[in-house]
Amino acid sequence: MDTSSTPRYPSDLTDAQWELIAPMVPVKPGGRPAKHARRRIVDAILYVNRTGCSWRQLPHDFAPWDTVYWYFKTWNEAGVTDRIHDALRAQVRDGNGRDPMASAGIVDAQSVKGADTVGRDSRGYDAGKKVNGRKRHIVTDTLGLLIVVLVTTAGLQDRVGARPVLARAKMAMPSIALVWADGGYVGKLIAWAQQHCRILVDIVRKPEGRHTFEVLPRRWVVERTLSWLMRTRRLARDYERLPEHSEAMIKWAMIGLMTRRLAPAPGRRPWQPAHPR
């Protein structure tokens, strides 16, 4: 049931892209064949991710919405989403001449508005950004590829959220030893990260006296990743009831991005990492 097919929607995987992740997508256990093709389940998740539609508004040529949602939830809980994401990241890094295990990264946070589906117990107010919703704490590698993500209430300070997200980064990527951060992460975090995670946090500061926009070394990489995420309509604001589902949606956005980089659709140029001018 996972044979080749012409993509019905722009978000659908091509045959080459499906081949990248097919070995990591579980096959239904037991003797009876699955009612719905694994590939179409993945395409449905990517459709929700790219278009921002609700689960109930999935087109009828996909599996029923509750079936797709069940797979989204089950794969996330079973670690399938992480395995697909991490394997693709390793392939992209290898294709760019990098060791699959990064030694350096960049940390940042982004506050986004929460939809009505986000409960009061998992949302907050970011007074600095004037945003009522949630905050995405991420660590990327130097190519801008996601290493880990942590979703919290928007009211949590960046330096407070940095502790658990750096701990996650060290568990996911034990080789990481250096993380760049902006001035919002100064303070006790630097000593804490060195002591508990064996990570050196290097603060990249804006030049004194500069009040205009300026591309900062290292910092632009993670900011570009956050802009990539905002191009995915499901991530333009937070619609998920559970923070862990928000994290999963971010990983699916990166899965879609990395499959396109590894196997560009016909007529698309291969991706090359950009550098600031």
Closest CA to 27 of 17, 39, 16: 39
Closest CA to 258 of 228, 235, 219: 228
In-domain check, residue 74: no
Cα separation, 168 vs 257, in Å, equals 22
CA 146 to chain centre: 6
The 10 Å CB-count burial string (b at 16+, else e) for 52-75 is ebeeeebeeebbebeebbebbeeb
Instruction: List the structure tokens of 148.
Output: 């880990």
In-domain check, residue 58: no
Q: Diameter of the chain by CA atoms?
A: 69
Owning domain of residue 106: 100-206+216-238
The radius of gyration computed from the CA coordinates of the chain, to the nearest angstrom, equals 19
Contact status, residue 50 vs residue 234, Cβ threshold 8 Å? yes
Residues paired with 180 in a beta bridge? 106, 202
Query: Does residue 130 come out as left (phi exceeding 0), alpha (psi in the -120 to 50 range) or beta?
Result: left
Q: What is the pLDDT of residue 273?
A: 59
Q: What is the pLDDT of residue 75?
A: 98
In-domain check, residue 244: no
Cα separation, 269 vs 8, in Å, equals 21
Closest CA to 250 of 135, 154, 169: 135
In-domain check, residue 152: yes
In-domain check, residue 83: no
How far, in Å, are 34, 120, 181, 190 from residue 185 at the CA level? 49, 27, 6, 8
Q: What is the pLDDT of residue 211?
A: 57
227, burial (CB in 10 Å: exposed 0-12, middle 13-18, buried 19+): exposed
Q: What is the pLDDT of residue 173?
A: 98
Residues paired with 150 in a beta bridge? 137
Q: What is the pLDDT of residue 277?
A: 41
Q: What is the pLDDT of residue 205?
A: 83
For residue 111, give the CATH number of its domain: 3.30.420.10
Q: Using a cut of 0.75, tell me whether the model's pTM lies above it.
A: yes
In-domain check, residue 93: no
Contact status, residue 52 vs residue 258, Cβ threshold 8 Å? no
Structurally, how many domains does the chain consist of?
Answer: 1
Let me know how long the chain is. 277
In-domain check, residue 111: yes
Cα separation, 57 vs 179, in Å, equals 41
In-domain check, residue 115: yes
In the chain, which residues have pLDDT < 50? 213, 276-277
pLDDT in tens, 88-141: 999 999 999 999 999 999 999 999 999 999 999 999 999 999 999 999 999 999
